[in-house]
Structure 1
Amino acid sequence: MSALPDATFSDRQNEVLQTALRLLVEGGEKALTTAALARTANCSKESIYKWFGDRDGLLASIVTYQASRVRVIDAAALPKTREQFAEALELFARDLLDVLLSESSLALNRLCVGTVRGDEPGVGAVLLDRGKRRIEDRARRLLEAGRSGGHIAFDDAGAAYRALYGLIIGDLHIRAMLGDGDAVSAISITDQARAAVAQFLTLYAPAGAGGSSQT
Structure 2
Amino acid sequence: MLHSVPDIDNSEALTERQQAVLDAALRLLVEEGDNLTMTAVARRASCSKETLYKWFGDRDGLLTATVQWQASKVRVAPVDRKGLDLASLTASLERFASDWLRVISSDTSVALNRVAVGHAGSGKDDLGAIVLQNGRFALARRLKPVLEAGRQAGLLDFDDAETAFRTFFGLVARDVQIRLLLGDRLQLTDATIGGDAARATQQFLALYGPKTRGANNRPQGL
Structure-1-length-normalised TM-score: 0.88
Matched to 1:48, the amino acid is L
Larger mean CA deviation between 101-110 and 183-192 belongs to 183-192
Aligned CA distance change for structure 1 residues 79 and 61 (closer, same or farther; 3 Å): farther
Question: For 2:155 and 2:197, how far apart are their aligned partners in 1?
Answer: 18
Alignment coverage as a number of residue pairs: 209
Unaligned runs of 5+ in 2: 1-7
Identify which of 39, 43, 49 aligns with 2:47.
43
Identify which of 157, 161, 172 aligns with 1:157.
161
Identity %: 43
Alignment check: 8 A CA contact 1:151 1:206 kept: yes
Aligned CA distance change for structure 1 residues 75 and 25 (closer, same or farther; 3 Å): same
Matched to 2:21, the amino acid is V
Residue aligning to 1:188: 192
Q: Cα offset for 1:149? A: 1.6
Aligned CA distance change for structure 1 residues 185 and 178 (closer, same or farther; 3 Å): farther
Larger mean CA deviation between 5-14 and 102-111 belongs to 5-14
Residue aligning to 2:219: 212
Unaligned runs of 5+ in 1: none
Identify which of 148, 151, 158 aligns with 2:152.
148
Larger mean CA deviation between 54-63 and 75-84 belongs to 75-84
Residue aligning to 1:18: 23
C-alpha RMSD of the superposition: 2.6
Q: Tell me the alpha carbon deviations over residues 25-58 of structure 1, each in whole angstroms, 9 at most, x when there is no partner.
A: 122221x221221121111111111111100001
Q: Cα offset for 1:110? A: 0.7
SS at match of 1:182: coil
Identify which of 101, 109, 112 aligns with 1:108.
112
Q: Cα offset for 1:86? A: 0.2
Q: Cα offset for 1:184? A: 4.7
Aligned CA distance change for structure 1 residues 113 and 79 (closer, same or farther; 3 Å): farther
